[in-house]
Amino acid sequence: MRRRLVLLAAATTSVVLLAFTLPLAVLIDRAATNAAIATATDRSQSIVPTVAVGTAAEISRAVSAVADRDFVVRVRMPSGSVVGRPFDTARHPVDPRLRATEVRSLPDGRVILDQPVLRTDGTAVISTLMSERVLDAGVWHAWSVLAMLAVTLFALSLVVADRLARSMTRPVTELAATAERLGRGDLDARAEPGGPDEVREVGLALNRLAARIGELLAHERESVADLSHRLRTPITALRLEAESVRDDEARGRLTSAVDELTRGVDDVIREARRTIREGVEARCDATSVVSERVAFWQVLAEDQHRRLSLVLPDRPSWVRVSRPDLEAAMDALLGNVLSHTEEGIGFGVELRRDGTAVLVSVRDDGPGFADPSLLERGRSGAGSTGLGLDIARRTALASGGALQVESPAGGGAVVTMRLGPPAE
């Protein structure tokens, strides 16, 4: 924005300077020419009396007195003879019928002043040829001063425009820095309102938004703390009821379900109590996390007689996800495979690069997904809550990527998390 404002000022100033300097330069050139013509007229007038009544010798002395290298003077007598320095009559002809002073411009840029003088024997013509040097006297110097003045005004306008643009863009830059701090989780960041009225209003609105976000997060943590206390009692009662069941198989299923419910509630509470959510500075090595989580779940896979394949690169794969979030997403995907496919069904995990992004794919040889609505939170085709895929989806989206669920034609299911690179 600052650069655009300066460029706008430069363009406007250029147009104004051109509109001012070009006509002025033409006027300076014309003024120099008019001054030379006025001087030539004075010199010609000074010898008119001599030319009117004098002899050839007297006229020659008068012409020599007023002529020099810048003003070449000649007199064409009625008889056709020429007194003074002769001109090229073919290039500079004189009209013998001339009755008034005449100024002529020559093709080579010089100017001739012809002035008729009446004599008793006819009409003589005094011709004064002005050189280019006298016609341009002071023009180049004036043009140089004019150019220097234009450059100075142009530079001054750029400096003033830059100062004004900086005073307008600085508050916007500070607003961007404050928004960046808020995005990183610094909820105490506040903008200092300044600049134009519109920018000041934006700063005030940003501060109100930051304060409101803090209030909402505080309310959320309080609600979660209250939720934890509310759920402990019914979960404990449910556990006691499950343990009182006499049938061992049913008691085991109920107890396992209660344990899973307890873990789910704990995960929700722990997630909500995090003071800083996923931000632009989060990063971890996906290769290391995937390797560790696969090793953790491999024990259960072996107990269920599942074949497990793992494909990892031989170097770190940094992604814009915090390590706990990626661990939770991998646990959700691997847990889904082990919980919702029959024992003995194999699965595999592959991590690969796609440009700057990192793809983490979990594939199984089960029946696959029949309903694409599995990506919607709270819905699943396998009798679960559907939160596992939602955790993976939110993790991928927070990194700047996406989650893709596929059911290949050959059977099975593939869930791929596309994770974005860490911020520079």
Whichever domain contains 403, its CATH number is: 3.30.565.10
Cα–chain center distance at 374 = 40
The mean pLDDT value of the chain amounts to 82
> Is residue 246 scored above 70 in pLDDT?
yes
Interatomic CA distance for residues 177 and 37, integer angstroms: 68
> Is residue 199 scored above 90 in pLDDT?
no
For residue 213, is it within any domain? Answer: yes
Phi-psi region for residue 191, left (φ > 0), alpha (ψ -120 to 50) or beta?
beta
Do 124 and 116 meet the contact criterion of CB atoms below 8 Å apart?
yes
Interatomic CA distance for residues 71 and 128, integer angstroms: 6
Residue type, 301: A
**pLDDT value of residue 213:** 84
Confidence of residue 288 (pLDDT cuts 50, 70, 90): very high
Can you give 95-132 as a three-state secondary structure string?
CCCCCCCEEEECCCCCEEEEEEEEECCEEEEEEEEECH
30-34, 139-143, 164-168, 345-349: least confidently modelled range: 164-168
Residues 297 and 409 reside in one and the same domain: yes
Confidence of residue 254 (pLDDT cuts 50, 70, 90): confident
> Is residue 375 scored above 60 in pLDDT?
no
> Is residue 270 scored above 80 in pLDDT?
no
For residue 80, is it within any domain? Answer: yes
Q: How far is the CA of 146 from the CAs of 17, 28, 94, 143, 196, in angstroms? A: 10, 10, 39, 5, 37
Interatomic CA distance for residues 116 and 276, integer angstroms: 101
**What domain range includes position 250?**
197-272
> Is residue 276 scored above 60 in pLDDT?
no
- % residues pLDDT > 90 (the chain): 17
Residues 367 and 414 reside in one and the same domain: yes
Give the total number of structural domains in the chain.
3
CB atoms within 10 A of CB 147: 12
Residues 293 and 240 reside in one and the same domain: no
The residue among 79 and 99 whose pLDDT is bigger is: 79
CATH number for position 23: 3.30.450.160
**pLDDT value of residue 221:** 72
The residue behind tokens 């404050």 is: 178
Q: What is the pTM of this model?
A: 0.45
**pLDDT value of residue 387:** 57
Confidence of residue 279 (pLDDT cuts 50, 70, 90): very low
Q: Tell me which of 96, 118, 139 is where a domain ends.
A: 139
> Is residue 376 scored above 80 in pLDDT?
no
Residues 297 and 260 reside in one and the same domain: no
For residue 186, is it within any domain? Answer: no
Interatomic CA distance for residues 154 and 144, integer angstroms: 15
Show Cβ contacts of residue 307 under 8 Å, excluding neighbours closer than 6 positions.
346, 347
Residues 12 and 105 reside in one and the same domain: yes
φ/ψ of residue 318, rounded to 5 = -80, 135
Phi-psi region for residue 22, left (φ > 0), alpha (ψ -120 to 50) or beta?
alpha
Interatomic CA distance for residues 396 and 418, integer angstroms: 6
Q: Tell me which of 246, 272, 298 is where a domain ends.
A: 272
54-63, 98-107, 308-317: least confidently modelled range: 98-107
96-100, 132-136, 305-309, 371-375: least confidently modelled range: 371-375
Q: Tell me which of 139, 171, 188 is where a domain ends.
A: 139
Residues 290 and 408 reside in one and the same domain: yes
The residue among 251 and 376 whose pLDDT is bigger is: 251
Average pLDDT over residues 60-87: 85
